[in-house]
Chain A
Amino acid sequence: MEYEKIKDALLAEVDSGLKFANTLDQRADFELFLYYRSESNVEIKQGVVEATDGIVAGNAIRAAKDQRVSFSASSGIAPNQIRRSVHNAVASLKATSEKDTRFKGFCEPKPPGKEGKFAHEILDLTTDDLVKLSLQLIGDMTNVNGRVLAAVECQRSWGGFAIGNSLGLQQASTSAHNACSAYAMAIDGEERRTASEELVTREKALDVTGIGQKAAAKALSMLGTQKLNQTTKLPTLWVPWAAASYVLTSLQQSAQGQAVVEGVSPLRNRLGEEIAHSSFTLIDDGQDPLGISTEAIDAEGHPQGKAAIIQQGILKGFLFDSYYGRIAGKGSTGNCTRSGGPFGSRLPYEHAPSIFSKNLEVTAGTKSQEDLIASIDRRGLLITDIPIGIFHSTVATGEFSAVANSVFLIENGEKKYPLDPVSIAGNFYTGLKQLQGIGNDVEITSLFVTTPSLLIDGFSVTG
């Protein structure tokens, strides 16, 4: 299917699928979601190439009657494949008497938001182009140092989705982006140090210049680690990629409407309170023209929007879909997803609607990363990659305990040498109040969090 024809083609199938569903049960309400995406990616790991080019297509239906709700999904978007889901959803509905008393109906129709920008050249990227770009990345990495092991991936993705429901909503949205990543492993005897760099963009066709060199240089700079030999509390400077993991595993989860409604979020009763340093502002912008998750509508057809979560340290709001938005009395913020976000599935249509941020954005500060390092007048740590274990923190408390494997010592305002793995522990929310500085080095990351470096005091470190 051509890119320009996706919306019309999917909307036509949505319309006929809903009509078919009505013939099976005229008293039930239905919501039909269709998904079509062309995905192409080339991976080269130390000379071994794996290349995939395929069409992801699928459908999902929700059926609701007397507050009973069922969900069924099938592969494909052909009429017989849609009917399979419809039959399953109706059968499932009949089989249960269990009610979801909080269910008040599907998403109300509203005018859509805007689709994001994208470079049309992305649509024209061929397999050969992706192979050439991957080879360029490899060449750039091995030119830095022949001993660096290299793994790279280049991908492009374009497609769209459409939604219709019994309330008369019928909307569709399309998008395209491309991305690359370079993963370097520097080896010296038994010592292995890794580093990665990435680029994810919809703004232009992939240009991988400089990315391979940066990844290789970073990995090499990690060789020759020394022990911290200290158990204490130190300031920690999280570069954008590491800071993104901090925001994702803390505020992304606790600002999520389901966690708020279900009572799991520690932020649930704190609207209007100062929960972070006054320099910290976080929004979720589903309409940022260059945001990777920007679409005209979310995964249930609500227009995507822009939601303030924290403004100058004050907790301003949470992220909702229509289900949890109604329970909370707030309405949807356009954050419905079907397995969205950085760890999303290749078959998103198989996932029931839930809530996820679209494009989380931490407002930039004024200091460069060097200025932030210089501002530490004692010992400190520079965390240059995602600490392992950070995603396994407890949402309810914000307590975390992780191990930074890519970490440098900062001493008297200068970056010194790489360290053996350092345990870092503390509380994410206490950390937000102990922000000592925010960088101006904003990066869009594949964690769908755009953030500068964050300097935080007070975490316990052991190494």
Chain B
Amino acid sequence: MLDKLQAAVSLGERLGADFVEARFDDLTLRTLRRIKTRNDDTWKDIISKSRTGIGITCYFDGTPGYSFTASEKNTDIEETVNRAFRMAKAASTAASLKLSFDRRPRVKSRPTDTLAMKIHPQNKSQEFKMDLINRMVETAAYHGKEIENITGAYGEMYGQKIFTNSEESDINWEFLVVDLHCRVTSKTSTGDLVFASKRKAGSLGLETYKQKENTPEAIGKIAGEFAAEQLDAKACPAGKFPTLIDNDLTGVLAHESFGHLSEADYVTIGVSPLAGKIGKRLGTKHATIVDGGIPDVEKTGGLWLPFDDQGTPASMTTILDKGVLKHFLHNRGTAQKLVQKPTGNCRAIHFGFMPIPRMTNTFFTPGDLTEEEALEKLGTGVYAIQTAGGQVQGDGSFLFKANRGYWVENGHIQYPIREVALSGNILQLLQRVEGATRELELWGTYFGGCGKGGQHPLPTGLGGPKLLIRDVTFGGQA
């Protein structure tokens, strides 16, 4: 395939492109999902997919044109290059802001750029993976109460990514993400539905699910027990409270509300409120946010992304350093425009899309508190746990739903609380971060993911410690 990509680069250059990138993805995806309800127990999804295709970017006068094809026939690849060049040329006439970039040294990947797994999912049968789900669902059923629905799901995506460009880069590595997820929905005596979920996901080998804390039984038990706990949970009072947000919610906050603002395409065109603020203090000394494709996956979890889809090797970029804005997340053009180094953040969800600045693993760095110390420092307020997502806007305002949590008084957990909305603006929130716990947990997902520019769901990694923040707004009920 590399020779076909190299031929495509040469053709693009002959047509008149200033620079050409050619990439090939050969990915396998698998989804297994079992849904157990009061009346039914069904394997809802037994799905396998092969996602294979070529993407070509031609640059003309600092403007990209992109085309793609699922065909590996030479004539179709040539037509794809032609389309990409035509798009670039037409687009360049309209571009008033050009993002050209200088040549850099050729990049060549090494075998160690692919993570070594003890048990790669491709070496295990479908039955083995269905058994993981069965064990998880049955354990959840055992530990849950008043269960309406248990959804157990396993997902995997892995395969080869090949890249070359006008610099004759030669990159070949294998992507991998696996995801085992359990969600239990229970019904209260008044008919309300409550839920809890648990997952273990990231660039992991299946040996992970043999570790005591990550067995399907451990995951199912947590989902079942916490859904049962929710049966007696109370509504969270509305208002502003000191809050301890757990590792999951911290990750989503880092990614959704701050990470997107630091993506350099938004910064370059001036729509991000972070534009022009490098060196400015935006948060307290407890707020440090990092994004990078090469975390210590074995130690912290996360997603392994040693190269982006523009062939830039990954780095670990400190975006916000003890509250001070230091760096943005770049593709090659935005890095040159903003006079920063490329960060390896140019990613596409699949070959059907042009790569754009995206996050890799985005997280708050840990502090020095234990959970007990954090609760003590919290005093009276909310311990908010997990999120099924939320929505954000370009000015930094956000609304997230915490799946569950606890009401805390004088540093002691009092009672569980129901799903509740947290809202605010990240730029104000960063000024109220008062501490963080000392552990770092990252995860990367197959189910769900990041959405931007129509590209959803892109697997991304996120996480952090537990974060202590004062004056978080909860609820919206009058």
Which residues in A have their C-beta under 8 angstroms from that of B38? 263
From known contacts A75-B50, A102-B40, A192-B394, infer whether A54 and B68 are also in contact, taking CB-CB under 8 Å.
yes
Which residues in A have their C-beta under 8 angstroms from that of B478? 231-233, 425, 460-462
Given B90, B96, B126, B419, which contacts A128 in the complex, CB threshold below 8 Å?
B90
Given B96, B268, B352, B395, which contacts A56 in the complex, CB threshold below 8 Å?
B352
> Complex formed: what's the CA distance from A56 to B352 in Å?
7
Contact, CB under 8 Å: B270 / A149: yes
Question: What is the distance, in angstroms, from B318's C-beta to the closest C-beta of chain A?
Answer: 25
Contact, CB under 8 Å: A192 / B395: yes
Contact, CB under 8 Å: B63 / A49: yes
Question: What is the distance, in angstroms, from A413's C-beta to the closest C-beta of chain B?
Answer: 23
A47 CB–B CB distance under 8 Å: yes
> Complex formed: what's the CA distance from A135 to B93 in Å?
10
A366 CB–B CB distance under 8 Å: no
Given B43, B47, B268, B390, which contacts A48 in the complex, CB threshold below 8 Å?
B268
Question: What is the distance, in angstroms, from B17's C-beta to the closest C-beta of chain A?
Answer: 13
B391 CB–A CB distance under 8 Å: yes
Given A70, A396, A401, which contacts B193 in the complex, CB threshold below 8 Å?
A396
Contact, CB under 8 Å: B353 / A346: yes
Given B47, B148, B354, which contacts A263 in the complex, CB threshold below 8 Å?
B148
Contact, CB under 8 Å: B42 / A52: no
Question: What is the distance, in angstroms, from A171's C-beta to the closest C-beta of chain B?
Answer: 23
Given B148, B269, B389, which contacts A46 in the complex, CB threshold below 8 Å?
B269
Which residues in B have their C-beta under 8 angstroms from that of A347? 51, 350, 352
Given B84, B273, B389, which contacts A192 in the complex, CB threshold below 8 Å?
B273
> Complex formed: what's the CA distance from A405 to B423 in Å?
12
Question: What is the distance, in angstroms, from A331's C-beta to the closest C-beta of chain B?
Answer: 20
Query: Which residue of chain B has the shortest Cβ distance to A72 in the bound complex?
Result: B48
From known contacts A75-B50, A194-B394, A389-B399, infer whether A263 and B37 are also in contact, taking CB-CB under 8 Å.
yes
Contact, CB under 8 Å: A70 / B456: no
Contact, CB under 8 Å: B97 / A48: yes
Contact, CB under 8 Å: A424 / B476: yes
> Complex formed: what's the CA distance from A396 to B149 in Å?
12
Which stretch of A21-29, A81-89, A296-304, A370-378 is in the interface?
A: A81-89
Question: What is the distance, in angstroms, from B361's C-beta to the closest C-beta of chain A?
Answer: 24
Contact, CB under 8 Å: B66 / A50: yes
> Complex formed: what's the CA distance from A406 to B226 in Å?
37
> Complex formed: what's the CA distance from A55 to B63 in Å?
21
From known contacts A88-B48, A98-B130, infer whether A42 and B193 are also in contact, taking CB-CB under 8 Å.
no
Which residues in B have their C-beta under 8 angstroms from that of A190? 273
Contact, CB under 8 Å: A405 / B393: yes
Which residues in A have their C-beta under 8 angstroms from that of B37? 262-263
Contact, CB under 8 Å: A44 / B454: no
Contact, CB under 8 Å: B94 / A134: yes
From known contacts A76-B71, A95-B125, A403-B399, infer whether A47 and B97 are also in contact, taking CB-CB under 8 Å.
yes
Indicate with 1 or 0, residue by residue over A356-377, a CB within 8 angstroms of chain B CB atoms: 0000000000000000000000
Contact, CB under 8 Å: A151 / B271: yes
Contact, CB under 8 Å: B46 / A51: no
> Complex formed: what's the CA distance from A405 to B396 in Å?
12
From known contacts A95-B125, A96-B127, infer whether A185 and B394 are also in contact, taking CB-CB under 8 Å.
yes
Chain B contact-residue range equals 35 or more
Query: Which residue of chain B has the shortest Cβ distance to A135 in the bound complex?
Result: B94
Which residues in B have their C-beta under 8 angstroms from that of A231? 478
> Complex formed: what's the CA distance from A190 to B277 in Å?
12
Which residues in A have their C-beta under 8 angstroms from that of B22? none
Among B318-364, those with CB < 8 Å from A are 350-354, 356
Query: Which residue of chain B has the shortest Cβ distance to A425 in the bound complex?
Result: B476
B401 CB–A CB distance under 8 Å: yes
> Complex formed: what's the CA distance from A462 to B474 in Å?
12
A69 CB–B CB distance under 8 Å: yes
Query: Which residue of chain B has the shortest Cβ distance to A69 in the bound complex?
Result: B46
Question: What is the distance, in angstroms, from B230's C-beta to the closest C-beta of chain A?
Answer: 13
A53 CB–B CB distance under 8 Å: yes
B45 CB–A CB distance under 8 Å: yes
Contact, CB under 8 Å: A460 / B67: no
Indicate with 1 or 0, residue by residue over A106-131, a CB within 8 angstroms of chain B CB atoms: 00000000000000000000011001
Among B11-70, those with CB < 8 Å from A are 29, 34-35, 37-40, 42-53, 63-70
Question: What is the distance, in angstroms, from B473's C-beta to the closest C-beta of chain A?
Answer: 8
Contact, CB under 8 Å: B95 / A96: no
Given B35, B71, B265, B271, which contacts A57 in the complex, CB threshold below 8 Å?
B71
B86 CB–A CB distance under 8 Å: yes
Query: Which residue of chain A has the shortest Cβ distance to B47 in the bound complex?
Result: A71
Indicate with 1 or 0, residue by residue over A34-51, a CB within 8 angstroms of chain B CB atoms: 000000001111111111
Given B46, B53, B93, B454, which contacts A92 in the complex, CB threshold below 8 Å?
B46
Given B51, B71, B269, B354, which contacts A78 in the complex, CB threshold below 8 Å?
B71
Contact, CB under 8 Å: A49 / B393: no
Contact, CB under 8 Å: B397 / A50: no
Query: Which residue of chain B has the shortest Cβ distance to A70 in the bound complex?
Result: B46
Contact, CB under 8 Å: B269 / A48: yes
B260 CB–A CB distance under 8 Å: no
Contact, CB under 8 Å: A76 / B52: yes
Number of interface residues of A (CB under 8 A): 82
Which residues in B have their C-beta under 8 angstroms from that of A81? 52, 70
Tell me how many residue pairs across A and B have CB atoms closer than 8 Å. Answer: 240
Contact, CB under 8 Å: A127 / B90: yes
Among B127-172, those with CB < 8 Å from A are 127, 130, 148-149
A204 CB–B CB distance under 8 Å: no
Contact, CB under 8 Å: B477 / A75: no
Question: What is the distance, in angstroms, from A38's C-beta to the closest C-beta of chain B?
Answer: 10
Contact, CB under 8 Å: A131 / B90: yes
Question: What is the distance, in angstroms, from B54's C-beta to the closest C-beta of chain A?
Answer: 10
Which residues in B have their C-beta under 8 angstroms from that of A74? 49-52
> Complex formed: what's the CA distance from A52 to B83 in Å?
9
Contact, CB under 8 Å: B83 / A346: no
> Complex formed: what's the CA distance from A86 to B94 in Å?
45
Which residues in B have their C-beta under 8 angstroms from that of A85? 50
Contact, CB under 8 Å: B393 / A54: no
Contact, CB under 8 Å: B66 / A52: yes
Which residues in A have their C-beta under 8 angstroms from that of B419? 394
Question: What is the distance, in angstroms, from B320's C-beta to the closest C-beta of chain A?
Answer: 18
| A46, A49, A185: most-surrounded residue (chain B CB, <10 A) | A49
Question: What is the distance, in angstroms, from A37's C-beta to the closest C-beta of chain B?
Answer: 10
Among B265-315, those with CB < 8 Å from A are 265, 268-271, 273
Question: What is the distance, in angstroms, from B86's C-beta to the closest C-beta of chain A?
Answer: 6
Contact, CB under 8 Å: A149 / B352: no
Question: What is the distance, in angstroms, from B92's C-beta to the closest C-beta of chain A?
Answer: 7
A212 CB–B CB distance under 8 Å: no
A159 CB–B CB distance under 8 Å: no
Which residues in A have their C-beta under 8 angstroms from that of B238? 462
Indicate with 1 or 0, residue by residue over A387-403, a CB within 8 angstroms of chain B CB atoms: 01111101011000111
| B64, B68, B388: most-surrounded residue (chain A CB, <10 A) | B68
From known contacts A128-B90, A149-B269, A396-B193, infer whether A52 and B353 are also in contact, taking CB-CB under 8 Å.
yes
Question: What is the distance, in angstroms, from B44's C-beta to the closest C-beta of chain A?
Answer: 8
Question: What is the distance, in angstroms, from B171's C-beta to the closest C-beta of chain A?
Answer: 21
Question: What is the distance, in angstroms, from A216's C-beta to the closest C-beta of chain B?
Answer: 14
Which residues in B have their C-beta under 8 angstroms from that of A423? 423, 476
Which residues in A have their C-beta under 8 angstroms from that of B69? 54-55, 57
Question: What is the distance, in angstroms, from A158's C-beta to the closest C-beta of chain B?
Answer: 15
Which residues in B have their C-beta under 8 angstroms from that of A460? 476-478
B426 CB–A CB distance under 8 Å: no
Contact, CB under 8 Å: B90 / A51: yes
Given contacts A75-B50, A350-B49, A388-B398, 14 further A-B contacts (CB under 8 A): A42-B94, A47-B97, A54-B66, A74-B52, A75-B70, A96-B126, A149-B269, A149-B271, A192-B273, A194-B393, A263-B148, A264-B149, A346-B352, A401-B399
The 4 closest A-B pairs by CB, nearest first: A423-B476, A46-B269, A47-B97, A460-B478
17 sample A-B contacts, Cβ–Cβ < 8 Å, listed by A number:
A46-B268, A52-B67, A52-B87, A52-B353, A53-B65, A54-B69, A70-B47, A75-B52, A95-B126, A98-B130, A149-B269, A262-B40, A389-B399, A391-B391, A403-B423, A421-B397, A460-B476
